[in-house]
Chains A and B, each alone.
Chain A
Amino acid sequence: MTALPRPFAQWFAARGWTLHPHQAAMLDRAQEPALLLVAPTGGGKTLAGFLPTLVELGAQPRPGLHTLYVSPLKALAADIRRNLGTPVAELGLPVRVEDRTGDTPAGQRRRQRADPPQILLTTPESLALMLSYEDAGRTFAGLRRVVVDEIHALAESKRGDQLMLGLARLQRLVPGLRRVGLSATVEDPPALARFLARHPDPCAILHADPGPDPDIAMLEAGPPPWAGGGGRHAIPAILEQIRRHRTTLIFHNTRAQAELFFRDLWLANDDGLPIAIHHGSLAREQRQRVEAAMAAGQLRAVVCTGTLDLGIDWGDVDLVIQVGAPKNVKRLVQRIGRANHRYNAPSKALLVPANRFEVVECAVALEAVRARALDGAPRGPGPRDVLCQHILATAAAGPFDADALHAEVTSAGPYAGLSRPDFDACLDFVATGGYALRAYDRWQRLVRRPDGLWQLRDPRAASGIRMNLGTIVGTETLPVRLRGRGAPLGEVEEDFAATLTPGDSFLIGGEVVRYEGLRELTVEVSRAPGRMPKIAVFGGSKFATSTLLTQRMLDLFAQGAWPGLPQHTADWLALQARVSRLPEPDRLLVESFPHDGREHLCLYGFAGRNGQQTLGLLLTKRLEEAGLNPLGFVASDYATLIWGLDPVTDIAPLLDREGLRAGLEGWLAGNAVMKRTFRAVAIVAGLIDRAAPGLRKTGRQATFSSDILYDTLRRHDPGHLMLAITREEALRGLVDFGRIEEMLDRIGARIDLLRLDRVTPLAAPLMLEPGRVPIHGQGRERLAAEAAARLMAEAGLG
Chain B
Amino acid sequence: MNGTAVSLAGAELSALPSGALWWPAERLLVVADLHLGRSERLARRGGALLPPYDSADTLARLDAEIAAARPAAVVALGDSFDDAEAGAALPEAARLSLARMMAGRHWVWIAGNHDPGPIEIGGTHRAEWRCGPLVFRHIARPGVEGEVSGHFHPKARVGGLARPCFVLDRARIILPAFGTYTGGLAADAPALAALVSPAACALLVGQPPIRLPLAAAGLRRGVRASPGRRGPAGGLG
**Chain A interfacial positions (CB closer than 8 Å to B):** 432-433, 435, 437, 439-440, 442-445, 457-458, 460-461, 476, 478, 494, 497-498, 500-501, 518, 521, 686-689, 691-692, 695-696, 699-706, 708-709, 712-713, 715-717, 720, 780-781, 783-785, 787-788, 791-792, 795, 797
Q: Which of B49, B184, B213 has the most CB of A within 10 A?
A: B49
Do the beta carbons of B212 and A792 come within 8 Å of each other? yes
Complex CA–CA separation, A715 to B182 (angstroms): 17
| A279 CB, nearest partner CB in chain B, Å | 23
Do the beta carbons of A788 and B211 come within 8 Å of each other? yes
Closest A residue to B200 using CB positions: A797
Complex CA–CA separation, A442 to B45 (angstroms): 9
Complex CA–CA separation, A543 to B48 (angstroms): 34
Across the A-B interface, the 6 shortest Cβ-Cβ residue pairs: A784-B159, A704-B183, A700-B231, A433-B49, A716-B53, A699-B225
Known A-B contacts A497-B221, A780-B160; the reply to A700 vs B229 at CB < 8 A is yes
Contacts of B91 in A (CB 8 A): 439-440
Say if the beta carbon of B227 comes within 8 Å of chain A.
yes
Q: Which of A686, A701, A704, A781 has the most CB of B within 10 A?
A: A704
Complex CA–CA separation, A713 to B50 (angstroms): 10
23 contacts between A and B (CB under 8 A): A432-B49, A433-B43, A440-B43, A440-B52, A498-B219, A521-B223, A686-B48, A689-B235, A695-B235, A701-B233, A702-B227, A704-B184, A705-B183, A705-B236, A709-B50, A712-B180, A720-B51, A781-B161, A785-B210, A788-B210, A788-B212, A791-B213, A795-B215
Known A-B contacts A498-B221, A704-B181; the reply to A795 vs B213 at CB < 8 A is yes
User: Which of B161, B215, B225 sits near A702, CB closer than 8 Å?
Assistant: B225
Contacts of A443 in B (CB 8 A): 43, 49, 52
Closest A residue to B49 using CB positions: A433
Closest B residue to A458 using CB positions: B46
Say if the beta carbon of B29 comes within 8 Å of chain A.
no
Do the beta carbons of A784 and B51 come within 8 Å of each other? no
Closest B residue to A700 using CB positions: B231
Do the beta carbons of B220 and A691 come within 8 Å of each other? no
Contacts of A500 in B (CB 8 A): 220
Say if the beta carbon of B143 comes within 8 Å of chain A.
no
Complex CA–CA separation, A460 to B210 (angstroms): 47
Complex CA–CA separation, A704 to B234 (angstroms): 10
| A774 CB, nearest partner CB in chain B, Å | 8
Complex CA–CA separation, A457 to B47 (angstroms): 12
Do the beta carbons of A787 and B50 come within 8 Å of each other? no
Do the beta carbons of A689 and B212 come within 8 Å of each other? no
| B126 CB, nearest partner CB in chain A, Å | 24
| B60 CB, nearest partner CB in chain A, Å | 9
Complex CA–CA separation, A696 to B222 (angstroms): 9
Known A-B contacts A442-B40, A521-B222; the reply to A689 vs B199 at CB < 8 A is no
The DSSP consensus for interface residues of chain B is: loop
**Chain B interfacial positions (CB closer than 8 Å to A):** 40, 43-44, 46, 48-54, 56-57, 89, 91, 153, 157-161, 180-184, 199, 201, 207-208, 210-213, 215-216, 219-229, 231-237
Known A-B contacts A701-B231, A706-B236, A712-B51; the reply to A440 vs B40 at CB < 8 A is yes
Known A-B contacts A440-B40, A784-B158, A784-B159; the reply to A433 vs B183 at CB < 8 A is no
| A436 CB, nearest partner CB in chain B, Å | 9
Closest B residue to A456 using CB positions: B46
| B178 CB, nearest partner CB in chain A, Å | 13
User: Which of A439, A445, A704 sits near B49, CB closer than 8 Å?
Assistant: A445
Known A-B contacts A433-B51, A498-B157, A788-B158; the reply to A703 vs B212 at CB < 8 A is no
| B45 CB, nearest partner CB in chain A, Å | 9
User: Which of B54, B159, B222, B226 sits near A494, CB closer than 8 Å?
Assistant: B222
Contacts of B40 in A (CB 8 A): 440, 442
Contacts of A494 in B (CB 8 A): 221-222
Contacts of B52 in A (CB 8 A): 433, 435, 437, 439-440, 443
Contacts of B223 in A (CB 8 A): 518, 521, 699
Known A-B contacts A432-B49, A691-B235; the reply to A701 vs B225 at CB < 8 A is yes
Closest A residue to B159 using CB positions: A784
Do the beta carbons of B229 and A783 come within 8 Å of each other? no
Contacts of B212 in A (CB 8 A): 788, 791-792
Complex CA–CA separation, A626 to B23 (angstroms): 41
Complex CA–CA separation, A435 to B183 (angstroms): 23
Contacts of B50 in A (CB 8 A): 433, 687-688, 709
Do the beta carbons of A702 and B226 come within 8 Å of each other? yes
Complex CA–CA separation, A732 to B40 (angstroms): 34
Q: Which of A445, A460, A701, A708 has the most CB of B within 10 A?
A: A701
Do the beta carbons of B210 and A784 come within 8 Å of each other? yes
| A796 CB, nearest partner CB in chain B, Å | 9
Do the beta carbons of A692 and B235 come within 8 Å of each other? yes
Contacts of A797 in B (CB 8 A): 199, 201, 213
| B90 CB, nearest partner CB in chain A, Å | 11
Closest A residue to B234 using CB positions: A689
Contacts of B211 in A (CB 8 A): 788, 792
Complex CA–CA separation, A455 to B228 (angstroms): 34
Complex CA–CA separation, A712 to B180 (angstroms): 8
| B41 CB, nearest partner CB in chain A, Å | 9
Q: Which of B48, B52, B213, B236 has the most CB of A within 10 A?
A: B236
Known A-B contacts A439-B91, A440-B43, A703-B235; the reply to A788 vs B159 at CB < 8 A is yes
Complex CA–CA separation, A401 to B182 (angstroms): 38
Closest B residue to A495 using CB positions: B221
Complex CA–CA separation, A791 to B235 (angstroms): 35
Contacts of A518 in B (CB 8 A): 220-221, 223
Contacts of B235 in A (CB 8 A): 688-689, 691-692, 695-696, 701, 703
Complex CA–CA separation, A560 to B221 (angstroms): 53
